C-alpha cells in the first residue's frame, strides 16, 4: 500500500511496539522510509530490543522509549525528549493496549479503570503532547489503533469495547481540531489478527470466529501495519477522521 521512501526523513513514534501489531507497524514505517522509529514499550525490554533490531534492518534508526502511556507525566517527558533529540515528530501511532476481560458482574473496578487508562487515556496523553509539535510544524499524521470490537461489542469485553469505541470518537473529534494545521487523525480497526493474544484463545473459540469471517482466515499483523502506513503517508493528506476496518469482512 505504500511506496518505498514515502516517509523519507520523517520521525515516527509507535506505542506498544515491542511485539505483535505494534512491532509490525514499527518495521513497516521503517520500510516506508522513516528516518527514525521510536519504539515505546512498558516492560518487555528483550522484545523491544528485538523489535529495534528489525527496524534497523529495515533501514531506520530505532530508539527505545520505555514509558507507561497511562502515566501523563512520563508520556509528556518521553515525547518532548524525542522532539528535542530529533527536532521533529511527524507520525504518532497509538497502538498500546491491554485487556482485562470478564463478565461485568465479575469485572473489578481496578481492571475497568486500568483498561480505559491505557487504551483511551494513553492516546489522549500522547496526542496532547504531540499535537503541539505537529501544529507548529503544520504537518502530522496520527493513527490510532482501535478494534472491530468497538463496533460489534463482545461479551466479557465491556471495558475494552468502551475504550476502543471512545478512541474512535476521540479520533473524529481530534481530526476536526487539527485539520486547519494540516494534521490528519485517523484510526485503523483490526479484526481477529494472528497475534499472541488471539493464539492464546481456545481452539474452539478460534474456529467459531473463522466461521463468521467472510475471508475465512485470521489477518496478519503486517496487513494491519500496511493500513497504518497508508494513512501515515503524505499522499493520504485528504483522509481524516476515518476509521479503516481491517477485519476480513467480519463487520461491514
Residue 202 is part of a domain; what is its CATH number?
3.40.50.720
User: Is the sign of the CA dihedral 107, 109, 114, 115 positive or negative?
Assistant: positive
Above 50 in pLDDT, residue 2? Answer: no
In a domain, 122, yes or no: yes
pTM (predicted TM-score): 0.95
In a domain, 105, yes or no: yes
Above 80 in pLDDT, residue 4? Answer: no
Above 70 in pLDDT, residue 176? Answer: yes
Above 60 in pLDDT, residue 85? Answer: yes
Above 70 in pLDDT, residue 59? Answer: yes
The percentage of residues in the chain with a pLDDT greater than 90, rounded to a whole number, is 92
Question: Per the residue annotation, which of 41, 139, 160, 238 is the catalytic one?
Answer: 160
Above 70 in pLDDT, residue 239? Answer: yes
Domain count, the chain: 1
Above 50 in pLDDT, residue 187? Answer: yes
25-53 pLDDT tens trace: 999 999 999 999 999 999 999 999 999 99
Question: Which residues partner with 188 through β-bridges?
Answer: 145, 244
Q: Calculate the average pLDDT of the chain.
A: 95
Query: First CA to last CA across the chain, in angstroms?
Result: 21
In a domain, 21, yes or no: yes
In a domain, 1, yes or no: no
Above 60 in pLDDT, residue 121? Answer: yes
Mean local confidence (pLDDT), 215-239? 97
Above 70 in pLDDT, residue 200? Answer: yes
In a domain, 52, yes or no: yes
**DSSP designation for 167:** H
Pull the grid cell for residue 224.
Answer: 494491519
In a domain, 6, yes or no: no
User: Phi first, then psi: what are they for 216, rounded to 5°?
Assistant: 60, 35
Domain with 48, as residue range(s), is 11-246
Q: How many CB atoms lie within 10 A of CB 199?
A: 9
Q: In Å, how far are 120, 142, 153, 234 from 183, measured between CA atoms?
A: 20, 8, 30, 10
Mean local confidence (pLDDT), 241-252? 96
Above 90 in pLDDT, residue 149? Answer: yes
Mean local confidence (pLDDT), 173-200? 94
In a domain, 251, yes or no: no
Grid look-up 518505498 returns 4
Helix (H, G, I), strand (E, B) or coil at 107: coil
Pull the grid cell for residue 143.
Answer: 493513527
129, 80 contact by CB (below 8 A): yes
Residue 160 annotated as catalytic: yes
In a domain, 113, yes or no: yes
Amino acid at each position: 500500500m505504500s511506496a518505498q521512501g514515502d516517509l523519507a526523513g520523517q520521525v515516527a513514534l509507535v506505542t506498544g511496539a515491542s511485539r505483535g501489531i505494534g512491532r509490525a507497524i514499527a518495521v513497516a514505517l521503517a520500510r516506508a522510509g522513516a528516518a527514525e522509529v521510536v519504539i515505546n514499550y512498558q516492560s518487555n525490554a528483550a522484545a523491544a530490543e528485538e523489535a529495534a533490531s528489525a527496524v534497523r534492518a529495515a533501514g531506520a534508526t530505532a530508539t527505545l522509549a520505555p514509558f507507561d502511556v497511562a502515566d501523563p507525566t512520563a508520556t509528556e517527558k518521553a515525547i518532548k525528549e524525542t522532539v528535542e533529540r530529533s527536532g521533529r515528530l511527524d507520525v504518532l501511532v497509538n497502538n498500546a493496549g491491554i485487556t482485562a476481560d470478564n463478565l461485568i458482574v465479575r469485572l473489578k473496578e481496578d481492571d475497568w479503570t486500568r483498561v480505559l487508562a491505557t487504551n483511551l487515556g494513553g492516546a489522549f496523553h500522547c496526542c496532547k503532547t504531540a499535537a503541539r509539535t505537529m501544529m507548529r510544524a503544520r504537518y502530522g499524521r496520527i493513527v490510532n489503533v482501535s478494534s472491530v470490537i468497538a463496533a460489534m461489542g463482545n461479551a466479557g469485553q465491556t471495558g475494552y469495547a468502551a475504550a476502543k469505541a471512545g478512541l474512535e470518537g476521540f479520533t473524529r473529534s481530534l481530526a476536526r481540531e487539527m485539520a486547519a494545521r494540516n494534521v490528519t487523525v485517523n484510526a485503523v480497526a483490526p479484526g481477529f489478527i494472528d497475534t499472541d493474544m488471539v493464539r492464546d484463545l481456545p481452539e474452539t473459540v478460534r474456529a467459531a470466529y473463522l466461521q463468521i469471517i467472510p475471508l475465512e482466515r485470521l489477518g496478519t499483523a503486517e496487513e494491519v501495519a500496511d493500513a497504518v502506513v497508508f494513512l501515515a503517508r503524505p499522499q493520504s493528506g485528504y483522509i481524516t477522521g476515518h476509521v479503516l476496518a481491517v477485519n476480513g469482512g467480519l463487520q461491514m
